[in-house]
Amino acid sequence: DAGVTQSPTHLIKTRGQHVTLRCSPISGHKSVSWYQQVLGQGPQFIFQYYEKEERGRGNFPDRFSARQFPNYSSELNVNALLLGDSALYLCASSLPSLRETQYFGPGTRLLVL
């Protein structure tokens, strides 16, 4: 079975640009969460979506937004990129019956110059 997939794997942007990151959950998983992992730190929660509705939002500015599609895949959008947005962006999915058990994808490495 395929795990959580994310695209692209790497991305280089310049300050002020916009970026869209994509995530496909494990088959049967209806919940997707997004995390930001800065080098040397633990992942920080950004968003959680379940059944296409936002169920949680972390302490991130409004420049960050996300959505979930009918097939349960998800997009994370970041506007007006700052140097500090450089990080590994992780997507995690979980089953409806075991929502606390999250399985992570390989992440998208974003570098903002």
Q: List residues near another protein by CB under 8 A.
A: 4, 31, 33, 35, 40-45, 48, 50, 55-56, 58, 90, 92, 94, 99-107, 109
Judged by beta carbon, residue 17 or residue 47, the one nearer another protein is 47
- CB of residue 71 vs another protein: minimum separation in angstroms? 19
Judged by beta carbon, residue 7 or residue 41, the one nearer another protein is 41
> How many angstroms separate the CA atoms of 101 and 97, rounded?
9
- CB of residue 16 vs another protein: minimum separation in angstroms? 27
CA distances from 12 to 16, 83, 90 (A): 12, 11, 16
- CB of residue 77 vs another protein: minimum separation in angstroms? 20
